Amino acid sequence: MTSRVKELAARRELLTARSAIERETLKLDASVIGDTLSTVDRAVAIFQRLRRSPLILTAAVVGVVVFRRHPVTAWVMRGIAVVGTARRLGAALQQVAAESVPQESKGS
């Protein structure tokens, strides 16, 4: 009877460890899905806001048509690209820094 109890206890520990691993995997998957969904939610909100205000949409289209060939437009577009890249790089660096802090504290 005691060997059966030990066997069940070992099986329970194994199942507990597996469920902990599954919980961590699900937590990581949920964060990725949550980030993607928040991006989609923001895009939908912007679209809905623009749909309610056709004047802004018309002004943007007219601005693109009028300034399409203007030299300043090229610099503005480059600036927008650089700013977007810098923001993404900054966010990635902050994420890496945030992930490295708990690992350093565990090692000490």
Please state, as a whole number, how many other Cβ atoms lie within 10 Å of the Cβ of residue 71. 8
- Asked, for residue 58, whether it belongs to a domain, the answer is no
Q: What was the pLDDT predicted at 102?
A: 60
Q: What was the pLDDT predicted at 108?
A: 47
In SS3 terms, 15-59 reads as HHHHHHHHHHHHHHHHHHHHHHHHHHHHHHHHHHHHHHCHHHHHH
Q: What was the pLDDT predicted at 1?
A: 63
- Asked, for residue 84, whether it belongs to a domain, the answer is yes
- Asked, for residue 60, whether it belongs to a domain, the answer is no
Residues 6-39 pLDDT 10s: 999 999 999 999 999 999 999 888 888 888 888 8
Range of the domain at 87: 68-108
Q: Is 83 exposed, middle or buried (0-12, 13-18, 19+ CB in 10 A)?
A: exposed
Say whether both 48 and 72 belong to one domain: no
Phi first, then psi: give them for residue 68, nearest 5 degrees: -55, -45
Residues 89-99 pLDDT 10s: 988 888 888 88
